[in-house]
Amino acid sequence: MNNVTLIGRLGADPESRFTNSGTAVLNLSICTNSRVKKGDEYVEKPCWHRVVVFGKRAEGLAKCALNKGDQIAVEGEIEYRTWETPDGQKRNATQITARNVILFGGGGGKAGASDGPVVQTRPGAAQVHLDDNQFDDDDIPF
């Protein structure tokens, strides 16, 4: 089973765009922390994750006022990509393709216009309407 759940903070403002076929894509950078023992002390060790959201979910989240530093939870699957650059170098990337995103605050109170389920984070936080529309393989930007 390929399933991952992350709770972290946005490392940058989200980047929203559309594919050539018109599918919304939202790119997020999330930082999670773990504690590592160094000598007699524990120190925070940051870990950065690339997250991509497609379709109606991406459109709904783009309407929220998400900003660098906001705390969110992401549930999705890990994808590994390999490609070759025009100059022949091999590149690798790991990303999370999100199925669900939960806002823990700072979402600005806006909501997407969808009839799908609503994710209520906590009292006073933003609501995000999610939709179960799937995307085609042609809509994936890699």
Quote the mean pLDDT of the chain.
79
Residue 75 clears pLDDT 50, i.e. is over it: yes
The C-alpha atoms of residue 7 and residue 15 are separated, in whole angstroms, by: 19
Task: Judge whether 66 and 41 are in contact, CB under 8 Å.
Answer: no
Residue 109 clears pLDDT 70, i.e. is over it: no
The architecture in CATH of the region 4-139 reads: Beta Barrel (2.40)
The confidence score (pLDDT) of residue 65 equals 83
Task: Judge whether 92 and 55 are in contact, CB under 8 Å.
Answer: no
Specify the higher pLDDT residue, 75 or 107: 75
The confidence score (pLDDT) of residue 105 equals 66
Place of tokens 């209520």: 120
Residues 92-105: what's their mean pLDDT?
A: 91
Residue 9 clears pLDDT 90, i.e. is over it: yes
Q: How wide is the angle at C-alpha 140 spanned by C-alphas 136 and 142, nearest 5°?
A: 145
Q: How confident is the model at residue 124 (pLDDT cuts 50, 70, 90)?
A: very low
Q: What is the pTM of this model?
A: 0.68
